[in-house]
Amino acid sequence: MPSRITVLALLCALLLPLAAFGAPSEYATLLASLKAGNTAIDYGRLRLSYMESPERKKARDTSEPERAMVAALNAKDFPKALKAAETVLESEYINMDAHFVAFAANQEMGYKEKAEFHRAVFRGLVDSIRNSGDGKSTEKAWVVVSVHEEYVVLRVLGFQPSGQSLLNENGHAYDVMKVKNRDDGAEQTFYFNVDIAMKYEF
């Protein structure tokens, strides 16, 4: 019969690989579920967990492919736009613009199922921000993880930014965005909680 010390040694040997590699991050788990086709995941948690994840720390700078995907989409070079969007998503799957470009490019090339997938993800990411408040006050400010998200939300809602200022109130940071409606020019002010963005981007 093996001694207690031997049993403990065997258990440690079995557990060492788990300790060495660690459990998947929350972001990796959510992302795997999403890529498997579950578009009903918690997109708010996907965004937040990405900012805290080891995957983000290892991510590449996507500035160049982001510019390339937009330029290619505007030029109606859909294969090139899609390739650039996929490059962005490899490092930053929460990038809403990349999902929009992937949706548009796939749609134009006739890949309806892939287009619908990226449309669902884009909508899920946008809605996760809109569902965090109504944006009309600091108390109900929309919570974003990057400044870029602010501009995507405003664009989706049909507003053009006309002014921006930073407000610190009750220990929180807010971007105060003055906007104009693209249709009738009506002015409005929206508030974005940028605590997370300030922590990771600045």
**pLDDT at site 2:** 45
**pLDDT at site 18:** 39
165: in domain:
yes
**Contact between residue 114 and residue 106 where contact means Cβ atoms under 8 Å apart:** yes
Burial of 79 (0-12, 13-18, 19+ CB in 10 A): exposed
pLDDT in tens, 167-179: 999 999 999 999 9
Q: Answer with the one of 76, 105, 130 that is the final residue of a domain.
A: 130
pLDDT band at 202 (very low <50, low <70, confident <90, very high): low
Q: Quick one: tokens of 9? A: 């040694």
Question: What's the whole-number mean pLDDT along residues 174-199?
Answer: 96
CATH of the domain at 187: 2.30.30
Are both 146 and 122 inside the same structural domain? no
Residue type, position 87, single letter:
T
Are both 46 and 116 inside the same structural domain? yes
35: in domain:
yes
User: What range defines the domain where residue 60 resides?
Assistant: 26-130
pLDDT > 70 in the chain, percent: 89
19: in domain:
no
12: in domain:
no
7: in domain:
no
Main-chain phi, psi angles of 135, to 5 degrees: 75, 5
Are both 96 and 180 inside the same structural domain? no
32: in domain:
yes
C-alpha to C-alpha distance for 80 and 86, rounded to whole angstroms? 10
17: in domain:
no
CATH of the domain at 113: 1.25.40
pLDDT in tens, 34-70: 999 999 999 999 999 999 999 999 999 999 999 999 9
Are both 155 and 124 inside the same structural domain? no
C-alpha to C-alpha distance for 84 and 71, rounded to whole angstroms? 10
Instruction: Domain count for the chain, please give it.
Output: 2
Q: Answer with the one of 74, 98, 130 that is the final residue of a domain.
A: 130
15: in domain:
no
